[in-house]
Structure 1
């Protein structure tokens, strides 16, 4: 397996419904579950499946993503041979919602020429799941398929494809003659000349494509049954390691059914919420059904319900912010909410 499968992660997708959270970052770098980024799931799945060469194709606003992944050390991808590769796409006007656009790959075709892996798996960057790709590769080889598309058991295409690297190269090279712009075009063409197979994945999987979807999926992690399907001891979800002190809970604070990362200072009430690293919650503040990202400051006597605070947000004392499960109140990164801005 070590040298058979090449990982290719398309990180170019932009969903307009997530605009408030993507102003300063790519979708792949969207914080999730208090200490992870969305891309950690598919990248960890690849590493846990024995993949040792992973190419990431980001597009614009990828500084946050590169800062998070670095050399790939936390995923054991900082190696002399193979490892982690970044190929920012030069194609500005490419279709932002097509996974594995051949025009993006063509700009770095020499990478595929040099790859020693016989097969390639092409994935999106925004699916929250925990999957072992080894059975998929075995099934693909034994089935004699040219292209295998992964579907969830509910019938939804997961925008992930397994193909021989040599065939991928051919599809990239002949894109102008065939008119195929991405793997999906090949699969949907009724006149294609390839053997197309469907592999059914039956585990937990959610594709993050809207604020409401992001909000509900995040808070669903507070359900232990969901958590256990994603965070499996034998297949850990890896992320950037940050050395921070434990969270401090001051006298009078109260926490119920919440995920709270390291380095926080809690002096209020937190219920059914996810709190990221370094967050400060003041005395008398009440946080319910919220996602609070890194280094936010919530001052005394605030009330927040169904709110998403992006990183480095300050909520001034006495402020009330209220959203709903279908329409959470979103505060963009680095902004300030005052008591006169009640919702």
Structure 2
């Protein structure tokens, strides 16, 4: 049973509402939770479900994603047989029609033809959740479904289970049927296939906007949400980096925050997520914020409701404020100067 599923991750997803975080990376590679990337959740769920062959289909700005995934070693996917496969779009001048583009799959049809798995699990790369997929497969088979869509509170999680042979048929007949992706198939009320909807009742949030990204990040600080996402027997795996523990000075004050390895905290941190290698100087106050890798925050700064991308430098004495509804975003490598930068 454990070898019957092939994992397919559609990493082509683009959202205009996330453009401030994606000028140099794909949505799948957006940092999350101080040490993860969005793709880590679906990839870890697949691996924890016993899936040993995973294909990733990205389109634009995938260098960061490739660097993060590497050979797949951190997910135990650096195998002689099966393992991790990476299939960038061969035609950057042609549109990729959203989630699960059959055009993109068709360009790599040899991979699907050679796969030995009976069923294929197709998913997007930007949902935060922790799920075992084999109960879905058992339910799918018991119900006699052709296509199963996983839903949470009645909303699609953009996860589809289908026989590999049927997926190949859908790809080959896309020009005749007009189906460009799995969403087209499940939305067609005249579809000849038996469609089923599997209810997932755990925590799940799809990150398709800054609002959802900020909300999902802040909800990590809720112990009830944390316990649903980070399970001992189903860990969320990510790229391993050998860094020292975070150093806290004697004047550091930290409340209700997540702080990754390698940081230096000399100021105050409240209700915030601090990534690897961040430095927060003495007298600085960081509240309700997301600070990404290797950002430096100078002395006596005040940051509230902000999202600072990687390698941002905030000079001493600067105040930056956003709101819960509209957090202030500083893009990768930017420098904040002056006395006050408000929304």
Q: TM-score range by the shorter chain?
A: over 0.9
Residue 194 of structure 1 aligns with which residue?
193
Structure 1 stretches (4+) deviating beyond 4 angstroms? 93-97
Residue 276 of structure 2 aligns with which residue?
277
CA distance in structure 2 between the aligned counterparts of 1:94 and 1:274, rounded to whole angstroms: 38
Contact 2:319–2:339, Cα closer than 8 Å, also in 1: no
Equivalenced residue count is 342
1:146-157 equivalent positions in 2, closer than 5 A: 146-152=146-152, 154-157=153-156
Task: Please report how far the alpha carbon of residue 320 of structure 1 lies from its aligned counterpart in structure 2 after TM superposition.
Answer: 0.4
Q: CA RMSD in A?
A: 1.0
After TM superposition, the score normalised by the length of structure 1 is: 0.98
Contact 2:96–2:103, Cα closer than 8 Å, also in 1: no
CA distance in structure 2 between the aligned counterparts of 1:286 and 1:201, rounded to whole angstroms: 39
Q: Mark the runs of 5 or more structure 2 residues left unpaired by the alignment.
A: none
Offset from partner CA, 1:296-338 (integer Å, 9 cap, x none): 0001010000000000000000000000000000000011001
Contact 1:14–1:96, Cα closer than 8 Å, also in 2: no
CA distance in structure 2 between the aligned counterparts of 1:20 and 1:323, rounded to whole angstroms: 15
1:264-343 equivalent positions in 2, closer than 5 A: 264-340=263-339, 342-343=341-342
CA distance in structure 1 between the aligned counterparts of 2:107 and 2:254, rounded to whole angstroms: 51
Task: Please report how far the alpha carbon of residue 339 of structure 1 lies from its aligned counterpart in structure 2 after TM superposition.
Answer: 1.9
Task: Please report how far the alpha carbon of residue 7 of structure 1 lies from its aligned counterpart in structure 2 after TM superposition.
Answer: 0.1
Residue 124 of structure 1 aligns with which residue?
124
Residue 92 of structure 1 aligns with which residue?
92
CA distance in structure 2 between the aligned counterparts of 1:97 and 1:224, rounded to whole angstroms: 38
Secondary structure (helix, strand or coil) at the match of 2:323 reads coil
CA distance in structure 2 between the aligned counterparts of 1:95 and 1:139, rounded to whole angstroms: 35
CA distance in structure 2 between the aligned counterparts of 1:98 and 1:89, rounded to whole angstroms: 13
Residue 135 of structure 1 aligns with which residue?
135
CA distance in structure 2 between the aligned counterparts of 1:249 and 1:332, rounded to whole angstroms: 26
Residue 172 of structure 2 aligns with which residue?
173
Offset from partner CA, 1:101-159 (integer Å, 9 cap, x none): 1000000000000000000000000000000001000001111111111111x110111
Secondary structure (helix, strand or coil) at the match of 1:342 reads strand
Secondary structure (helix, strand or coil) at the match of 1:184 reads helix
Residue 106 of structure 1 aligns with which residue?
106
CA distance in structure 2 between the aligned counterparts of 1:143 and 1:316, rounded to whole angstroms: 60
Contact 1:257–1:273, Cα closer than 8 Å, also in 2: yes
After TM superposition, the score normalised by the length of structure 2 is: 0.98
Residue 213 of structure 1 aligns with which residue?
212
Residue 65 of structure 1 aligns with which residue?
65
Secondary structure (helix, strand or coil) at the match of 1:262 reads coil
Task: Please report how far the alpha carbon of residue 95 of structure 1 lies from its aligned counterpart in structure 2 after TM superposition.
Answer: 5.3
CA distance in structure 2 between the aligned counterparts of 1:7 and 1:309, rounded to whole angstroms: 33
Offset from partner CA, 1:148-199 (integer Å, 9 cap, x none): 11111x1101111000000000100111111110111111112221111111
CA distance in structure 1 between the aligned counterparts of 2:76 and 2:171, rounded to whole angstroms: 29
CA distance in structure 2 between the aligned counterparts of 1:296 and 1:113, rounded to whole angstroms: 45
Contact 1:13–1:96, Cα closer than 8 Å, also in 2: no
Task: Please report how far the alpha carbon of residue 97 of structure 1 lies from its aligned counterpart in structure 2 after TM superposition.
Answer: 6.3
